[in-house]
Amino acid sequence: MSSTSPGTAPLPDDIREARLRLARARRVVALTGAGISAESGVPTFRGADGLWRNLRAEELATPRAFARDPLLVWEWYESRRRRMGSVQPNAGHHALARLEARVPEFLLATQNVDGLHGLAGSKRMVELHGNLWRLRCLGCGAVREDRRALEDLPPRCTCSGLLRPDVVWFGEDLPAGALEQAFTAARAADVVLVVGTSSLVYPAAAVPEAAISAGAFVVEVNPERTPLSEACALALRGRSAEILPQIVGGAA
């Protein structure tokens, strides 16, 4: 199969190899992080724009920070919701949705809370760190999706309980089913794509490690090196919105 359409430069060998592996794979897992949304204009956590009022995510995304100052934490989340409200999925998100439609057994495990994979049409997906468009009541436990601008912060439930973002904070357990599903799929996968993550946050970062130990062909897509890079079969150094369409193929 010629891997280049007429008039384009031949694909580099590692891109061609990744494309071939995906074309033959029956079981594929994709683990994504903030980097896949960077080209939609969503700041990453540990990039230059990863700070907010000189505070890092590790200091704000914690139950302690919320207990101490729910308003400050909500101002951070509402500023992210407002900024994300206008962003759209990019070619990287759409490529993974196309891959899902083509591969017999596919699972997308995302660390992202921005909801962009869902907007791009991904269905077989677990959100390991929750979703910032969902709110959860600390009083009655009700969970609801709400994309509107939240006027009065911190928001309250109809039961008058305090609402929190339905995301996983540092020191909190991930949704058990979701994590289990990610590990099981990664261990059984032929190919695992690790896209746009610094591979620093556990236990999500352990999912590709489990795949490597089980013998999967792991491909990293990231402009920078990460602690996972050298254990990967392929480390494709570049932007996901450019590389994913090349290795998945189909409409750009």
The footprint of Zn ion (CB under 5 A) covers: 137, 139-140, 142, 157, 159, 161
Residue 175 within binding range of ligand BV8, rule CB under 6 A: no
Least separation in angstroms between CB 35 and ligand BV8? 2
Residue 38 within binding range of ligand BV8, rule CB under 6 A: yes
Residue 201 within binding range of ligand BV8, rule CB under 6 A: yes
User: Catalytic residue at 117?
Assistant: no
Among 173, 176, 177, 251, binds ligand BV8 (CB under 6 A): 173
Least separation in angstroms between CB 2 and ligand BV8? 27
Whose CB is nearest to ligand BV8? 35
Residue 131 within binding range of ligand BV8, rule CB under 6 A: no
Least separation in angstroms between CB 66 and Zn ion? 16
Kindly give, in sequence order, each residue whose CB lies less than 8 Å from that of residue 101, ignoring residues fewer than 6 positions away.
none
User: Phi/psi of residue 133, each to 5°?
Assistant: -85, -10
Residue 12 within binding range of ligand BV8, rule CB under 6 A: no
What is the residue whose two structure tokens read 């969902």?
Answer: 134
Of 113, 104, 134, residue with least CA distance to 34: 113
Strands (E), the chain: 27-32, 105-110, 125-127, 130-137, 143-145, 163-167, 191-195, 217-221, 234-236
Integer CA distances (angstroms), 4 to 7, 246, 249, in order: 8, 9, 10
- Binding part of the chain for ligand BV8, among 95-103, 105-113, 148-156, 228-236 by CB under 6 A, reads 105-113
- Selection from ligand BV8, Zn ion, none that 137 binds (CB < 5 to 8 A by kind) is Zn ion
Residue 202 within binding range of ligand BV8, rule CB under 6 A: yes
Residue 33 within binding range of ligand BV8, rule CB under 6 A: yes
- CB count within 10 Å of CB 11 equals 16
Among 35, 115, 118, 154, binds ligand BV8 (CB under 6 A): 35
Site for ligand BV8 in 52-71 (CB under 6 A): 57-58, 61
Kindly give, in sequence order, each residue whose CB lies less than 8 Å from that of residue 131, ignoring residues fewer than 6 positions away.
113, 115, 145, 166, 167
Kindly give, in sequence order, each residue whose CB lies less than 8 Å from that of residue 102, ignoring residues fewer than 6 positions away.
250
Least separation in angstroms between CB 55 and ligand BV8? 12
* 55/63 Cα distance (integer angstroms): 15
Helix (H) or strand (E) holding 65: helix 63-68
Residue 136 within binding range of ligand BV8, rule CB under 6 A: no
Kindly give, in sequence order, each residue whose CB lies less than 8 Å from that of residue 223, ignoring residues fewer than 6 positions away.
35, 237, 238, 239
- Selection from Zn ion, ligand BV8, none that 101 binds (CB < 5 to 8 A by kind) is none
Active-site positions read: 129
For binding to ligand BV8 (CB under 6 A), which residues are involved? Answer: 33-35, 38-39, 44-47, 50, 57-58, 61, 111-113, 129, 167-173, 196-198, 200-203, 221-224, 226, 239-240
